[in-house]
Amino acid sequence: MLANHLVILPILIPLFAALLQLLPWGDNPQRYRRIIGITASSLTLITAIWLVGSVQDEVLVYALGSWQAPFGIVLVADKLAALMVALTAVLALPVLIFACHGEDNLGSHFQALYQFQILGIMGAFLTGDLFNLFVFFEILLISSYALLMHGGGKLKLRATLHYVVLNLTGSALFLISLGVLYGITGTLNMADMAGKVAVLEGDDAALARAGGMLLFVVFGLKAALLPLYFWLPQAYANTTGTVAALFAIMTKVGIYAIIRVFTMIFGADAGESSNLAQDWLWWLGLFTIFIGALGVLGSRDLRLVVAYLVLVSVGTMLTTLSLGHTDAIGALLFYLVHSTLVTAALFLLADLIAEQRGKTASRIVKGRKMAQHNLLGGLFFLAAITVIGMPPLSGFVSKLFILEAARTGAQVVFLWPLILGATFLMMIALSRAGSRMFWHTFEGKPNETTHPKWQHASVVMLLLSAVALTVFAQPISKYTDAIAIQLTTPFEYISSVLPTGGPDE
């Protein structure tokens, strides 16, 4: 019986956890909120692993209220959705453990907001309906507004204001695009819309393309694709390490939406609207890599360096998606998992380093020796060589997959130099940061600030997850390749969602 409801559990668990955390809990409410949060995140992780195993042979569809698509609201778990749910769960648990050792005390209702954020992210990955994608976007965005301000401060307020204004604009464009697409196709179910868009001609097809490009702008804003990226560096660099680490999955929600919509609705079989955003993805992705690499090199603050590393990863993934074939999509997904885990670990690590350095904080300048200098130095070294892509770790494996997927002359001429050049600039920037923060320190007594072992363990868990990608690279790449095949041939998804086996007539 429980297996029938498996698809909705990653949404229900954080929802009920958040509601419980909002209740008054006597003299020491934070203790109980932490217990509820850790328990919920652990259950979500178990459920996510179960979901990955359950979608190996079928696409799971959960019709809310037993109303079947395209008229009812459905949740759909295919291999891609299961991967993203599992990645979110793997990220959320160690980040929450890190936050439970003091950082969640900086503001009210952090624990509940954290669970609402997970709820929005999970819903976005599992929904089979564009309007409910909008709804879950709003849930995660409203939570993110409060989390960005967690702890207060002028810089956080300014970064949050920019983030809010841009995302409210994006939400308005999202609704307009949904109105256009619904007016043309008469549906918002993604599987049903895929069939409707494929047979449109003339003015109707032109309107569908216009609606699709509006969606591309909205998802590009969420993913921080050039030129819509400028909210990301300051927002990620000025919030707390816990929030920034959780937000490592936020840009992936936009990337997921682009993958889902522009392979199924506006993919190769979409008639006059086929491959709608492919050329835009190629050039904008390349420029995003370039701008991100320059940002990494030019930043003088470790948190800002990591924020620009996120931007480089966004450009790399979307450029790879534009290649269109299954090898490229499989490589993209492997790299997506790697980049999410390692940048989250770096955000947490930057927080620890900043607190132990005192006044110099995370600025890349000479400062006092840290109380846990060698431990943090070792963790930084492992994280740095992983994110740069030094062999044999997951960064090297994932970039190798991407370069192998870029086969034609134009792809080799443009993508190879940019990825290799960005890797070189990342190496310079992180080497400079490591040498100034860990080697060139002032003489004298080290700073006395230390951190609990569980916070170090949280960073280690994320880094070990990235190391596991190397150890299990073959089965994981086999799974991502299977996702790519499922995405490029969406008949299984569509026939599972629609009771007639095809689009509603």
Residue-range domain boundaries for the chain: 2-497
Least confident of 121-125, 148-152, 207-211, 300-304: 148-152
Residue 43 clears pLDDT 80, i.e. is over it: yes
Residue 90 clears pLDDT 50, i.e. is over it: yes
What is the rounded average pLDDT for all residues in the chain?
89
Give percent of the chain with pLDDT exceeding 90. Answer: 61
Note whether 257 and 121 are within 8 A (CB): no
What's residue 145's pLDDT? Answer: 87
Q: Give the CA count within 13 Å in the CB-facing half-sphere of 396.
A: 12
Q: Average pLDDT of 112-133?
A: 94
In DSSP terms, which residues pair with 363 in a beta bridge? 301
Least confident of 105-114, 179-188, 294-303: 105-114
Note whether 289 and 312 are within 8 A (CB): yes
Q: Average pLDDT of 215-223?
A: 93
How deeply is 167 buried, as exposed, middle or buried, from its count of CB atoms within 10 A (0-12, 13-18, 19+)? buried
- Per-residue tokens: 384: 């740095």
Hey, CA dihedral for 132, 133, 136, 142, is it positive or negative? negative
Q: Determine the Cα–Cα distance for residues 135 and 146; give it in Å rounded to an integer.
A: 17
Q: Determine the Cα–Cα distance for residues 56 and 60; give it in Å rounded to an integer.
A: 10
Residue 29: cis peptide before it, omega within 30 degrees of 0: no
